[in-house]
């Protein structure tokens, strides 16, 4: 191994990935067939979110030595980061076949299953890693995450407490303790552990997301929604769809009963309103409460740049809806319905807007949202010019269709 390669490894140990690329490139220039240098440069590019360069470097390393378990592991790391879960699983299983006694490999395999929501498989892989190394921090944390999602919070808490006693300065363990507290509806305790995790590692995204959720969970309405989100995350894809479809058909059944039996309206209508409000909040509560944090001088410090941008878009959309509402209430009576419908359509538009911005890698949802935004503009202009209804029915059909497409897209991304 040459001096450049050693220097790069030292820089990577100190998380100076950008600086490590240059000596790695020098090592490759000296020996283009040196696979480990290509593997390490792939890891550096992954840490810096240079996804195309990372994948190319990892594939080059595997091509140079297809029997290197480390090269296959590196390729799996890159593929996992890019949400190519099937490819990542194939790569890491190939690495395990070559070296079945490396706990890091089982930790990565468990991470893939966590991203897919396959909690039993995640637990099995983490347990295998812990069998090889009982003090393996990553496997212990992944085991705890799987146990929490499977509903065994006692075992999860014991696993995390054991990991904390062995290494009290591990930020990931503190973050997982915080998430366990959130699952137990203990936002104050969660805040403490997320804060400790961020003190130890200010860039730990798992803790950054957690502390935002904990801050929002101080609100009783969001606490209910968070409990629902966490419960849904514990379900597999099939059960999740059963819940969604079951609630939808129950809504249809109650609505038909209301129409057929007018005397039941006082009982059924409140239930339908509660259901519609709940559905609206399942799509918007995370983003709306991000907006509330955005307006808080301390809360805005906890939001990532991406979430700040999304909350700004949602805030502008709500201001636009409010403007249409005020215009409708104070403007000419002949156009009142047009402005009020524009206000309602714009307010509901935060459902596709927030979803598409969160799932920004989905060009389908981004395009769908752009079309819905265009329909709002068309409806408003058509109504103002001709005092008509534009394509209002098409817009509302699009909103319903978007909700189903988004659920399917979210399920597909887990695979």
| Digitized pLDDT (tens) for each residue of the chain, 415 residues in all | 578 888 989 998 888 899 999 999 998 998 999 999 999 999 999 999 899 999 999 999 999 999 999 999 999 999 999 989 999 999 999 999 999 999 999 999 999 999 888 889 999 999 999 999 988 989 998 998 888 888 787 888 888 888 888 888 888 889 989 988 888 888 888 888 988 888 888 878 888 888 888 888 888 888 888 777 777 776 766 777 787 778 878 888 888 888 888 788 888 888 888 888 888 877 777 788 888 777 776 677 677 788 888 888 988 999 999 998 888 888 776 677 788 888 888 988 988 998 888 877 778 888 999 999 998 888 888 877 776 555 568 888 888 888 888 877 776 655 5
Q: Find tokens 């609630």 and name the residue.
A: 247
Q: Find tokens 């887990």 and name the residue.
A: 414
pLDDT for position 213: 86
The Cα–Cα gap between 86 and 332 comes to 58
pLDDT for position 388: 53
pLDDT for position 298: 65
- Are 198 and 171 in contact, with CB atoms under 8 Å apart? yes
- The region that residue 274 occupies, defined by phi over 0 for left and psi between -120 and 50 for alpha, beta otherwise, is alpha
Radius of gyration of the chain, Cα coordinates, nearest whole angstrom: 25
- 203 Cβ neighbours under 8 A, 6+ residues apart: none
DSSP-based helix, strand, coil % in the chain, nearest 5: 85, 0, 15
Closest alpha carbon to 371 in 357, 348, 352, 351? 352
- Are 214 and 190 in contact, with CB atoms under 8 Å apart? yes
**What are the start-end ranges of the H helices in 261-391?**
265-294, 299-302, 305-330, 336-348, 350-358, 363-386
- Are 146 and 122 in contact, with CB atoms under 8 Å apart? yes
The Cα–Cα gap between 241 and 124 comes to 25
The Cα–Cα gap between 88 and 387 comes to 56
Locate 173 and state its tokens: 């363990």
pLDDT for position 109: 97
The Cα–Cα gap between 115 and 204 comes to 17
**What are the start-end ranges of the H helices in 167-295?**
171-183, 187-200, 205-216, 220-233, 237-260, 265-294
The Cα–Cα gap between 353 and 355 comes to 5
Q: Domains of the chain: which residue ranges?
A: 223-413
Cα distance between the two ends of the chain: 39
The Cα–Cα gap between 313 and 26 comes to 44
Q: What is the distance, to the nearest Å, from the Cα of residue 298 to the centroid of all Cα atoms in its chain? A: 23
Q: Find tokens 């390490």 and name the residue.
A: 40
- 286 Cβ neighbours under 8 A, 6+ residues apart: 216, 225, 229, 354
pLDDT for position 89: 96
């Amino acid at each position: 191994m040459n001096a450049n390669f050693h220097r790069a490894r030292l820089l990577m140990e100190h998380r100076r990935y950008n600086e490590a690329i240059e000596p790695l490139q020098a090592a490759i220039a000296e020996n283009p067939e040196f696979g480990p240098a290509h593997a390490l440069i792939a890891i550096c590019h992954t840490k810096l979110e240079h996804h195309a360069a990372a994948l190319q470097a990892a594939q080059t390393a595997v091509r140079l030595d297809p029997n290197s378990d480390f090269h296959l592991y590196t390729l799996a790391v890159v593929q996992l980061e890019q949400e190519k879960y099937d490819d990542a699983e194939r790569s890491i299983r190939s690495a395990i076949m070559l070296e079945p006694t490396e706990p890091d490999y089982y930790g990565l395999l468990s991470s893939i299953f966590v991203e897919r929501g396959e909690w039993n498989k995640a637990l099995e892989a983490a347990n295998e890693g812990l069998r090889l190394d009982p003090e393996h921090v990553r496997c212990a944390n992944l085991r705890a995450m799987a146990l929490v999602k499977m509903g065994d919070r006692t075992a999860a808490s014991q696993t995390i407490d054991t990991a904390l006693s062995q290494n009290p300065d591990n930020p990931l363990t503190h973050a997982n303790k915080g998430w366990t507290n959130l699952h137990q509806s203990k936002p104050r305790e969660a805040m403490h552990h997320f804060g400790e995790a961020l003190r130890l590692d200010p860039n730990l995204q798992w803790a950054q997301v957690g502390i935002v959720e904990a801050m929002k969970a101080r609100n009783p309405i969001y606490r209910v929604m968070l409990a629902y989100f966490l419960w849904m995350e514990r379900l597999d894809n099939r059960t999740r769809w059963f819940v969604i479809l079951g609630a939808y058909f129950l809504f249809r059944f109650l609505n038909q009963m209301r129409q057929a039996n007018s005397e039941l309206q006082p009982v059924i209508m409140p239930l339908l309103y509660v259901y519609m409000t709940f559905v609206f909040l399942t799509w918007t509560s995370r983003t709306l409460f991000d907006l509330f944090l955005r307006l808080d001088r301390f809360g805005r410090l906890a939001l990532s740049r991406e979430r700040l941008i999304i909350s700004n878009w949602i805030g502008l959309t709500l201001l636009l809806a409010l403007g249409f509402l005020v215009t409708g209430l104070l403007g000419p009576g002949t156009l009142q319905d047009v402005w009020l419908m524009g206000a309602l359509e714009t307010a509901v538009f935060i459902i596709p807007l927030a979803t598409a911005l969160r799932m920004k890698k989905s060009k389908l949802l981004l395009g769908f949202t752009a079309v819905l935004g265009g329909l709002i503009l068309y409806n408003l202009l058509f109504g103002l010019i001709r005092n008509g209804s534009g394509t209002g029915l098409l817009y509302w059909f699009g909103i319903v269709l978007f909700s189903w497409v988004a659920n399917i897209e979210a399920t597909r991304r887990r695979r």
